[in-house]
Amino acid sequence: MLLSCPMEETTKVPGQHKIHFRTLILSDLHLGTKDAQARELLDVLRGIRCDKLILNGDIIDLWSLQRKNHWSPAHTAVVRRIMKMAEKDGTKVVYLRGNHDDFIRRLIPLVLDRIELAEEHIHVAQDGRKYLCIHGDAFDTVTVKMRWLAVIGDISYQILLDLNRFYNKWRAWRGKEYFSLSQAIKAKVKSAVSFISSFEEHLQTLAARRGCEGVMCGHIHKAEDRMIGNVRYINSGDWVESLTAVVEEDDGRIRVVERPELLQRIAERRAAFEAAKAGSPAPAGEANATISFVA
pLDDT digits (tens, 9 = 90+) for 160-213: 666 766 666 676 777 776 666 666 655 554 444 455 778 888 999 999 999 999
Greater model confidence, 273 or 130 = 130
Distance separating alpha carbons of residues 252 and 272, to the nearest angstrom = 23
- The DSSP secondary structure of 145-212, one letter per residue, reads H-HHHHHHHHHHHHHHHHHHHHHHHHHHHTTPPP--HHHHHHHH-HHHHHHHHHHHHHHHHHHHHTT-
pLDDT, one tens digit per residue, over 266-284 is: 999 999 998 888 876 555 5
pLDDT, one tens digit per residue, over 229-243 is: 999 999 999 999 889
Greater model confidence, 12 or 50 = 50
Looking at residue 137, the DSSP 8-state letter turns out to be G
Number of C-alpha atoms within 13 angstroms, CB side, residue 113? 8
Taking a C-beta distance cutoff of 8 angstroms, is the pair 28, 239 a contact?
yes
Distance separating alpha carbons of residues 127 and 282, to the nearest angstrom = 32
Residue 27 is inside which H or E element, if any? Answer: none
pLDDT, one tens digit per residue, over 134-148 is: 999 888 644 444 443
What is the per-residue pLDDT for 204?
A: 93
What are the structural domains of the chain?
17-294 (3.60.21.10)
